Amino acid sequence: MTVAAPTKPKNLKLIYQRPESLVDSATHYCPGCTHGIAHRLVAEVLDEMGLSDKTIGIAPVGCAVLAYEYFTFDGVEAAHGRAPAMATGIKRVLPDRVVFTYQGDGDLASIGMAEIIHAAARGERITVIFINNAIYGMTGGQMAPTTLPHQVTTSSPRGRDVATQGFPIRMAEILANLDGAAYIVRRSLHDATNIRKAKKAIRLAFEAQVRDLGFSMVELLSTCPTNWGMSPVEAMEWVRDNMVPAYPLGDYKVVPELQKLRV
C-alpha cells in the first residue's frame, strides 16, 4: 500500500513546528515535566536568532544530564555544579561562540554555588538557563536548596524544617546584586502566558550575550510531578500556588541596553 504525501492545504499558514535546533526524538523526561518546554524555548530562540551553528551547550548533572542529546548543536557534559566554570573555559578560548549552561537547582544553587556566583561576578559572557523545581529530580526527590519550607521530600520526610534544614535560596535576587550580571530574571513555565514570557526572557538573555553586555540568567520555575507525587495538572497548579509566591516572578537586573530592546 502506498501512502500519498500529505498535500499542503491552501490558505493555511504553518504556525507551529519543531525548532531546527531540537533533535526529532522522544525525551527521557517524565510526563508533565517542564524540561521539554524549556528545551524547546531555548531551541526556538536560537533558531530565531540564527545562532544554532555557533552555539555550544553545557549540560548539568541532574535530570537534564542528557540535554545535549536533544539539541542539534555541539554539547559537553559538566561535573555537578561546574557548568559555569566549564562554560567560562569554553567561552574564553572561543569568545565569538554562543555558550550556555542548563542547570537545575541542586546543581546551580547547592554544589555549584561558588561557580555560578563567580561566573556572574566576572560578567562571563554566558547565558544560564536555571530550572528551579524545588527538588532533586534525578536522585529521587531529595530536598533541594530551593525546597519550600514544610515541603515533604525524600530527605525531609516531615517537611523542610527551617530551624534545622535552613531556608530556600532565591538565586535571581542574589545574582542580581553582582555588577557583572547584565540580565537576571525569573519566569515560570506553569501556563501558556508565562511560557510566552519565559521565551522572551530567554531571547533577551542570549541578546545580552551576543551584545557582549555581561552574564545573563533566566530562572524558570518548573515542575517535578513524579517526585512531588502529583499529576501534571496538579504540578502546574502547585507551581502557581506555592512556588510563585515564594519565588516572585520579575526582572531583577536588566542593563539599560536591554531595557530598550524590543524582541
Interacting residues with another protein (CB under 8 A): 53-56, 58-59, 65-66, 68-69, 71-79, 82, 85-90, 92-94, 97-98, 114-115, 117-118
In the complex with another protein, the residue whose CB is nearer, 74 or 212, is 74
Separation of alpha carbons 102 and 208, rounded Å: 16
Residue 136 CB, shortest distance to another protein, in Å, is: 17
Residue 169 CB, shortest distance to another protein, in Å, is: 18
Provide the 3-class DSSP secondary structure of residue 51.
Answer: coil
In the complex with another protein, the residue whose CB is nearer, 94 or 162, is 94
In the complex with another protein, the residue whose CB is nearer, 31 or 89, is 89
The single residue listed with the C-alpha cell 554562543 is 98
Residue 122 CB, shortest distance to another protein, in Å, is: 8
Residue 212 CB, shortest distance to another protein, in Å, is: 16
Q: For 87-99, give one letter per residue: b (16+ CB within 10 A) or e.
A: bbebbeeeeebbb
Which candidate, 71, 121, 115, 145, places its Cα nearest to that of 253?
121
Residue 177 CB, shortest distance to another protein, in Å, is: 17
Separation of alpha carbons 243 and 149, rounded Å: 11
Name the DSSP class of 132.
Answer: E
The helix-helix angle for 83-93 and 113-121 (nearest 10°) equals 40
In the complex with another protein, the residue whose CB is nearer, 90 or 221, is 90
In the complex with another protein, the residue whose CB is nearer, 18 or 92, is 92
